[in-house]
Structure 1
């Protein structure tokens, strides 16, 4: 897959009245002064690898705009250590080879930290590249457990596959399911999530009717559709992406499966309903972290994002926004951009306010809570909307 064009994000002014979260965290002033102990000048550059081409390109735009919004707000407030922040993005196309090329370009560009990572399979091979270069990584979307390899500079601000699988099992139990199935597409993210779901479902006493792996990019999934119709598990968990997920739902329904389709966060996009077709998503729900429209008090943030991007925010825009803020706070706390100092400052964050709630990293650099909820599909728009917060 060819490498997309390098993009240097343009700084856009925002209207006054920044975001709800800036008010909560006191970014105003807290990140505005000080000096770099290394005596450096010029902008502090943050690199972002995300899909800007291919089937997942919509997510790249959401991530870039979320990160850019945070940068614009921080720069309007004086920057970090008296220096402006600048975002440099590279297309990884959710492809490992393209991602490696993009990571090497960002290293050559001299970025101080990475705030990207959507597809786990594309993010994984970039870990040693950034680690060797001494570039801390705050990963906003990719969440395979394989990403947590003990590298000192890798942090996840999306819930892990283990945490998402736990939410799936919790929902299965909540609706009274006794038999379940899991289908993955063999990618790192999907296989990891499916394996974790199967393990936790078994521990919870649920009967795992079958596990299946499909090949992404195909049009005919009749084999697995027929298996679903034959086995009729109460709930099936599809852990791949929306292109294949929409087809599997349609073909399995046509084959006679009438149980609950639960899909992972990689399938949460309005295109899922478009691919499945009208009348095929009534029994489809998903495990997901809350999007801005589901968060109480986020109206001002949504307005600022829409002004910047020209469209409403989508999935992983808030996580990317928070990834920038986490790095910025750590650099300010460290008083420099030195790798070890920044990593130590990230580890020391305690209750840092984010869209997902107060952030404190565990010893393995993951969130202490996954924050997953259940979302369903609005039959009018095809968009995923909050259905069950899994509380109580």
Structure 2
């Protein structure tokens, strides 16, 4: 149970209270939000911009993130908003494409957003950093977690690639892996995560690194290369579309050992694509509501709003909104410099996923990665090992 008091009128947030009602009573925002030179207009809603993939191969995550953000906004507005000003969500499609993301970021700037709570694909999020920085807009990123994002002025709700790689190494060591193969899909996120594993591998024997073209359907050359290395542990760091096909083809080629996937593949669609080959597959991921005491109430509230179940990064985007709203309240401003300072001042800020504290470089202290497996309903990932 979380029960911790905070200044500026923050309400106590407990998982027990969450379980008592599907409409969560979350952190209220009070105090004065200054306009003019202190940042932002004192009239009208505070617009929060969100870049996410609403088209392309990762399109499912766009709605997961949108409804997570909207749920947080609805709760904050129902509780009085931020000093009487409502929050408003403005979304743009980045398609997980760097060029499209820059254009979409500029649209959000033109729309007058005063904070950014988006970012799924690291490769698409990275080039938007200077766009928002130049416009004086604070960024709280819910999903993208490449180490290249760290120290760039943004704040990450998700654990970093370094933290995730450390959890993957710990799991491989726990299983007694003797020979490890790392496979990426040539994206910034995927390569970064594979690098993080390799850099922290210690005594683990990495016998091969392999890269695939995610636009292909036949990974025969890759699977033959991997099988030839005779691994007993494979870490796939790419996204689920190619991941599901790769897992199926690895099994067909004779590999029956453990396959661990990164958080970009932690989605029920992985099992749908891989079929029976999904057995003995696990993932590195941060905790989801179904893994938390009282999280069922949050799921019920989300489902009522979205008319669909939450998916990966629904909760993280919800928490990104909560964090930036509280920081704006604490700062008494939407000015980026003031809000960023207030974000750094959030110490053990209570959220569903656990108390939030940002390190000086904008990363989330602790990371919070666990091991999950696609053994839930319709291939949903559920907690398998908390690495304690």
- Global fold match (TM > 0.5): yes
Further displaced range: 114-123 or 299-308: 299-308
Following TM superposition, by how much is the alpha carbon of 1:19 offset from its aligned partner in structure 2, in angstroms? Answer: 4.7
Does the 8 Å contact 1:131/1:151 carry over to 2?
no
Following TM superposition, by how much is the alpha carbon of 1:21 offset from its aligned partner in structure 2, in angstroms? Answer: 6.5
Q: What's 2:163 paired with?
A: 163
Query: 1:37-79 CA deviation, whole Å, 9 max, x = no partner?
Result: 4362110000000001111111110100000000000001110
Does the 8 Å contact 1:46/1:115 carry over to 2?
yes
Q: Does 1:294 align with 2:291?
A: yes
Q: Does 1:320 align with 2:310?
A: no
Q: What's 2:267 paired with?
A: 269
Following TM superposition, by how much is the alpha carbon of 1:235 offset from its aligned partner in structure 2, in angstroms? Answer: 0.6
* Aligned residues between the structures: 365
Determine which of 322, 343, 361 is the counterpart of 1:346: 343
Following TM superposition, by how much is the alpha carbon of 1:18 offset from its aligned partner in structure 2, in angstroms? Answer: 5.9
What is the alpha-carbon distance in structure 1 between the residues aligned to residue 152 and residue 248 of structure 2? Answer: 41
What is the alpha-carbon distance in structure 2 between the residues aligned to residue 387 and residue 272 of structure 1? Answer: 17
Following TM superposition, by how much is the alpha carbon of 1:151 offset from its aligned partner in structure 2, in angstroms? Answer: 3.0
What is the alpha-carbon distance in structure 2 between the residues aligned to residue 53 and residue 37 of structure 1? Answer: 36
Q: Does 1:377 align with 2:374?
A: yes
TM-score using structure 2 length? 0.91
Following TM superposition, by how much is the alpha carbon of 1:178 offset from its aligned partner in structure 2, in angstroms? Answer: 1.8
Following TM superposition, by how much is the alpha carbon of 1:247 offset from its aligned partner in structure 2, in angstroms? Answer: 1.1
Following TM superposition, by how much is the alpha carbon of 1:371 offset from its aligned partner in structure 2, in angstroms? Answer: 0.6
Query: 1:290-311 CA deviation, whole Å, 9 max, x = no partner?
Result: 1211111112211111110001
Further displaced range: 80-89 or 380-389: 380-389
Q: Does 1:192 align with 2:189?
A: no
Does the 8 Å contact 1:333/1:345 carry over to 2?
yes
Does the 8 Å contact 1:21/1:353 carry over to 2?
no
Q: Does 1:63 align with 2:61?
A: no
Following TM superposition, by how much is the alpha carbon of 1:355 offset from its aligned partner in structure 2, in angstroms? Answer: 2.3
Provide closer, same or farther for how the CA distance between residues 19 and 171 of structure 1 changes in structure 2, counting only shifts above 3 A: farther
1:194 is paired with a residue of what secondary structure? Answer: helix
Structure 1, unaligned runs of 5 or more: 1-15
What is the alpha-carbon distance in structure 2 between the residues aligned to residue 302 and residue 206 of structure 1? Answer: 39
2:350 is paired with a residue of what secondary structure? Answer: strand
1:336 is paired with a residue of what secondary structure? Answer: coil
2:102 is paired with a residue of what secondary structure? Answer: helix
Determine which of 228, 251, 258 is the counterpart of 2:256: 258
What is the alpha-carbon distance in structure 2 between the residues aligned to residue 95 and residue 360 of structure 1? Answer: 30
Following TM superposition, by how much is the alpha carbon of 1:84 offset from its aligned partner in structure 2, in angstroms? Answer: 0.4
Following TM superposition, by how much is the alpha carbon of 1:101 offset from its aligned partner in structure 2, in angstroms? Answer: 0.7
Q: What's 1:5 paired with?
A: none
What is the alpha-carbon distance in structure 2 between the residues aligned to residue 19 and residue 156 of structure 1? Answer: 26
Following TM superposition, by how much is the alpha carbon of 1:313 offset from its aligned partner in structure 2, in angstroms? Answer: 1.0
What is the alpha-carbon distance in structure 2 between the residues aligned to residue 389 and residue 346 of structure 1? Answer: 28
What is the alpha-carbon distance in structure 1 between the residues aligned to residue 342 and residue 204 of structure 2? Answer: 42
Structure 2, unaligned runs of 5 or more: 1-19
- Point out 4+ residue stretches in structure 1 off by more than 4 angstroms: 16-21
Does the 8 Å contact 2:114/2:137 carry over to 1?
yes
Provide closer, same or farther for how the CA distance between residues 72 and 369 of structure 1 changes in structure 2, counting only shifts above 3 A: same
Q: What's 2:182 paired with?
A: 182
Does the 8 Å contact 1:179/1:208 carry over to 2?
yes
Following TM superposition, by how much is the alpha carbon of 1:35 offset from its aligned partner in structure 2, in angstroms? Answer: 4.3
Query: Equivalent residues in 2 for 1:82-97 (5 A)?
Result: 82-97=84-99
Q: What's 1:9 paired with?
A: none
Q: What's 1:13 paired with?
A: none
Provide closer, same or farther for how the CA distance between residues 379 and 368 of structure 1 changes in structure 2, counting only shifts above 3 A: closer
Following TM superposition, by how much is the alpha carbon of 1:230 offset from its aligned partner in structure 2, in angstroms? Answer: 2.1
Query: 1:337-367 CA deviation, whole Å, 9 max, x = no partner?
Result: 1221111111111110122211111111101
What is the alpha-carbon distance in structure 1 between the residues aligned to residue 168 and residue 244 of structure 2? Answer: 19
Q: What's 1:151 paired with?
A: 152
Q: What's 1:332 paired with?
A: 329
What is the alpha-carbon distance in structure 2 between the residues aligned to residue 227 and residue 377 of structure 1? Answer: 26
What is the alpha-carbon distance in structure 2 between the residues aligned to residue 381 and residue 72 of structure 1? Answer: 29
Q: What's 1:6 paired with?
A: none
Provide closer, same or farther for how the CA distance between residues 351 and 380 of structure 1 changes in structure 2, counting only shifts above 3 A: closer
What is the alpha-carbon distance in structure 1 between the residues aligned to residue 21 and residue 78 of structure 2? Answer: 11
